[in-house]
Amino acid sequence: MQLAEPFAMTQPAISRHLKVLENAGLIVRRIQGAKRPCRLSSAGIETVDRWLAMLRDALAQNYDRLDGVLADMVENGEELK
């Protein structure tokens, strides 16, 4: 209920969004009487961070290599063909 207050959304809509986040491992929910307190899952967030870091490394290496390929094309006068 508290999480729904700032948003122009119904409680069931908020619950569906939270369920998606929970299934994705980005938040953790527990049962406390009638309440369902949520917290961010540091492991889930860390996984996303690590994935982005890996993507960045792979792309950086690819594009550094592409710089070399492009330099060869320019040197051989093939860049506008």
Q: Which residues sit at the interface with another protein, rule CB under 8 A?
A: 20-21, 23-26, 44, 47-48, 50-52, 54-63, 65-71, 73-74, 78-81
- CA–CA gap between residue 28 and residue 39 (Å, rounded): 5
We find the least distance from the C-beta atom of residue 59 to another protein, in angstroms, to be 6
Question: Are the C-beta atoms of 40 and 27 separated by less than 8 Å?
Answer: yes
- CA–CA gap between residue 60 and residue 16 (Å, rounded): 37
Nearest residue (CB) to another protein, 15 versus 79: 79
Nearest residue (CB) to another protein, 40 versus 74: 74
